[in-house]
Amino acid sequence: MISKLRTTVCKKKSNGCQFTTGNALTTSMLGLLISTVVFFVASYAIKRYMDDNNYPRGLTRSALIFCIALLISYGTAFVVDFLFPS
From the number of C-beta atoms within 10 Å of its C-beta (0-12, 13-18, 19+), residue 70 rates as middle
Q: What is the pLDDT of residue 15?
A: 58
Domain membership of residue 23 as a residue range: 2-83
Q: What is the pLDDT of residue 85?
A: 81
Residue 72 has pLDDT above 50, yes or no: yes
How many C-beta neighbours within 10 Å does residue 81 have? 15
| Burial letters 29-55, b for 16+ CB under 10 A, else e | ebbeeebeebbeebbeebbeebeeeee
Give me the number of domains the chain comprises: 1
What pLDDT, in 10s, does the model give residues 6-65?
A: 445 555 555 555 554 557 777 788 889 999 999 999 999 999 999 999 999 999 999 999
Q: What is the pLDDT of residue 28?
A: 82
